[in-house]
Amino acid sequence: MEIVIFIGSLFVLLLTGIPVAIVLMLCALILLWHIDMFDPLLLSQQMLTGADSFILTAVPFFMLAGEIMKEGGISSRLIAFGQVLVGRFNGGMGYVAILASMLFAGLSGAAIADVAALGAVLIPMMVKCGYNKPRSTGLICASALTAPIIPPSIPLIILGVTVNLSIGKLFVMGIAPGIFLGLVLMVVWYFVVKRDGYNDKVIISGKEAVKIFFDAIPALLLPIIIVVGIRFGIFTPTEGGAVAAVYAFVVATVINRELKFKAIPRIFYNAVKTSAIVMFLVSTAYTIGWLITIAQVPLQIVDLLQGLVEHPFALLVVLNLVLLALGMVMDITPIILIFAPVFYPLIQAAGIDPYYFALVMVINLSIGLITPPMGSVLFVGCSVSKLPLVKLVAGVLPFLAAELLFLAAIVLIPGIITVPAEILG
């Protein structure tokens, strides 16, 4: 009965348009009332406990680093670096968009930051080259999904904290699938270019290419520093976030010299606002997680799916279908916080590698970011490009289909994730 009340109240309240964090608080109150523990003070205590995590302080640090890099000219240098590498091919600006998104993913850790930072620069450039605007915006939105996968991924940090997995190992495992996803999008873009007849090329002289390469080195070093530092215990994920913020500030002010001091209050305001939203979601989702454990909802779900524990592949398929459905109506962070503790006992009972499933889960939920009706990356793309949602959805469809096929591939062939991780680890 508790599982019906929880899921029913969750989806009914989501359909009303109430913000997700408030929905989670209301669901918590409904569950408290149902199990005869109704006490708003208990709710507030659990919310404070949920936010009281040293590792989670990495989130605002990485948010701050992303804001600094957006304002400090780093995104424009990554775009120029992408032009050097892939701009010479037909439809070169599309390849540049994908590569720039992958590179910026290694700096921001958030898909929304990718679209906001790169879209404002790349979309006008792509339209000027004669590209279809909805298709160009759709490509940038789809490419931004590499950000939750390539380290330093904020969803991977949250998932690691939630189910007690090594964040360093998760970061190493995220490198290969993030790169593969970018390559998949490049293959799709190749066929789009062939069909639409784009023939733009960016020709850069050797001397200019060398200058662009050296300008981009400071930005390219950051993800390497973070991954190596966390993986080999030089610093914790939280300290890694602080290192990223300080490093980004030094690059933006001392090396690039593009960050104006008058922009610093706005940078801190944006970082604080975004971090507050994330931490509010974390605290309310933690409370829900605590309550559904008290109400024995995980045991009910385990009982419901117990027959699949002996069939790991079937269990993996069912959980992926559930996650895809959830990703269409909820954002990635609350889904991880609520459902990861519920699904992981099943994963462990079925003998599925918990780190492999973590990457599958994050990739699956990332696809939800560009899936209507609640795809948050789509809304940011609409805001940046001034396109209506319907047109952007049409533009993103080929790339969405490719990413769904990529998800199916990593479910069918786990070695796509595990083999490179063993080599890198």
pLDDT of residue 408: 96
Residue 33 in any domain: the answer is no
User: Which of 10-14, 159-163, 291-295, 403-407 holds the top average pLDDT?
Assistant: 403-407
**Closest residue by Cα to residue 150 from 114, 123, 121:** 114
Residue 45 in any domain: the answer is no
Residue 71 Ramachandran class (φ > 0 left, ψ -120 to 50 alpha, else beta): alpha
The range of the structural domain enclosing residue 201 comes to 55-424
Question: In angstroms, rounded to a whole number, what is the distance separating the alpha carbons of residues 420 and 425?
Answer: 8
* Complete DSSP assignment for 341-397: HHHHHHHHHHT--HHHHHHHHHHHHHHGGGSTTT-HHHHHHHHHHT--HHHHHHHHH
Residue 255 in any domain: the answer is yes
pLDDT exceeds 80 at position 360: yes
pLDDT of residue 402: 96
The model's pTM = 0.78
At 271, is the secondary structure helix, strand, or coil? helix
* Complete DSSP assignment for 65-88: HHHHHHHTTHHHHHHHHHHHHHTT
Output the CA angle 154-156-159, nearest 5 degrees.
110
The answer, yes or no, to whether the previous bond of 152 is cis (omega within 30 of 0) is: yes
pLDDT of residue 90: 82
Question: In angstroms, rounded to a whole number, what is the distance separating the alpha carbons of residues 149 and 108?
Answer: 11
pLDDT of residue 1: 62
pLDDT exceeds 80 at position 126: yes
pLDDT of residue 286: 72
**Domains in the chain: how many in total?**
1
pLDDT exceeds 90 at position 319: yes
Residue 136 in any domain: the answer is yes
Residue 252 in any domain: the answer is yes
Which whole number is the average pLDDT over 17-25? Answer: 74
pLDDT of residue 296: 67
Q: Are 168 and 230 in contact (CB under 8 A)?
A: yes
Residue 43 in any domain: the answer is no
The answer, yes or no, to whether the previous bond of 373 is cis (omega within 30 of 0) is: yes
* Average pLDDT score, the chain: 82
Split at pLDDT 50, 70, 90, the class of 207 is: confident
Which whole number is the average pLDDT over 118-138? Answer: 84
Residue 108 or residue 243, greater confidence: 243
Residue 99 in any domain: the answer is yes
Residue 390 in any domain: the answer is yes
pLDDT exceeds 90 at position 142: yes
